[in-house]
Amino acid sequence: MLTTCLQTDLLLPSEGRIGGYYQTSLAHLGATKLVLAMFRRVYTSAPLFVYVDGQTSLDWDAYHPVVLLPFDSKFRSAASNGMHFITVGSCIAYVNRLIKAAREVDWLILLEDDVWVCNRMDVAWLKYDMNGQCIAKFDANVWGDMAPGECYGGYGGFVLRGSFLRRMYVDHEYIHHILATIKRPIASDELLSALFLRSNGTIGKIPDYAEEMTSQPVIVHQMKVFYNRETTC
């Protein structure tokens, strides 16, 4: 699978300003290094925004240009690896980091330790505010009338429209009602999708995104083969 990704002939650079946002923990350090190195191979000068919870010996300079966005320590106990939130404050902190990262880009790729960027995107396919798949469903038994739509995105590999993030309304009271309704920690993808839909954003499928390796990969999610393994990247 890795060979398929690395041997892909790179498409011509796109006209859009693209950035990467690495948002998961560093629990699988070898997989993280691989994800960052693959992104940098494809987008040699695109800004890479990194969410960092705690100290690490990872050499971020190896993936320059990198912008570190530390997770506020006062919210650390309210999150699980920075991806599940139980307080309004921790939800807002997560969304605000994304908005900050989107200030200077047209498109922001959500990177996680199982997301491989194998090739440059064709920006002509990016027709939605949140581009990827639309296969995860809001659980009506949990969300009830609070469900903002049928499906949600916002997980690893999704591509977010920068201009939409910059104008998206982060409704604190709405987030409070969500947490009171679902009565459990909210995942980052559920939260982000709910806020997108609340602001009349669109979520849709693009051919450049896949949940498994393909013969002509661009962005591939669920690549966990290097979990708990060191790499030389």
Residue 90 has pLDDT above 70, yes or no: yes
Amino acid at 231: T
User: How far is C-alpha 134 from the chain's CA centre?
Assistant: 15
Concatenated DSSP letters of 89-117:
HHHHHHHHHHHHHGGG-SEEEEE-TT-EE
Residue 201 and residue 168: Cα distance in Å, rounded? 9
Residue 54 has pLDDT above 60, yes or no: no
pTM over 0.85: yes
Report the range out of 17-31, 42-56, 117-131 with the highest average pLDDT: 117-131
Chain segment 137-188, per-residue pLDDT in tens: 888 888 888 888 888 889 899 999 999 999 999 999 999 999 999 999 999 9
Q: What is the model's pLDDT at position 55?
A: 52
Residue 199 and residue 165: Cα distance in Å, rounded? 10
Q: What is the model's pLDDT at position 65?
A: 86
User: CB-hemisphere CA count at 13 Å for 193?
Assistant: 27
pLDDT-wise least confident of 11-15, 26-30, 135-139, 183-187: 11-15
Residue 111 has pLDDT above 90, yes or no: yes
Which helix or strand (DSSP H or E) is residue 190 part of? helix 188-198
Of 149 and 233, which is predicted with more confidence? 149
Question: Among residues of the chain, what percentage have pLDDT more than 90?
Answer: 41
Residue 66 has pLDDT above 80, yes or no: yes
Q: What is the model's pLDDT at position 21?
A: 93
User: CB-hemisphere CA count at 13 Å for 201?
Assistant: 30
Output the six-digit token pair for 128.
Answer: 């939605």
Of 167 and 231, which is predicted with more confidence? 167
How far is the CA of 161 from the CAs of 27, 32, 108, 229, in angstroms?
28, 24, 7, 33
Which helix or strand (DSSP H or E) is residue 84 part of? strand 84-85
SS3 49: strand
How far is the CA of 67 from the CAs of 27, 53, 165, in angstroms?
20, 14, 18
Q: What is the model's pLDDT at position 9?
A: 73
Over residues 119-127, the mean pLDDT reads 90
What CATH number belongs to 2-8+17-220?
3.90.550
Provide the sign of the torsion angle of the four alpha carbons 102, 163, 126, 154, taken in this order.
Answer: positive
So where are the chain's domains?
2-8+17-220
* pLDDT band at residue 71 using 50, 70 and 90 as cut-offs: low
Over residues 76-80, the mean pLDDT reads 47
Over residues 108-136, the mean pLDDT reads 90
Output the six-digit token pair for 96.
Answer: 């605000």
Q: What is the model's pLDDT at position 78?
A: 47
Over residues 183-206, the mean pLDDT reads 92
Q: Which residue, 191, 142, 148, 144, is CA-closest to 170?
A: 191
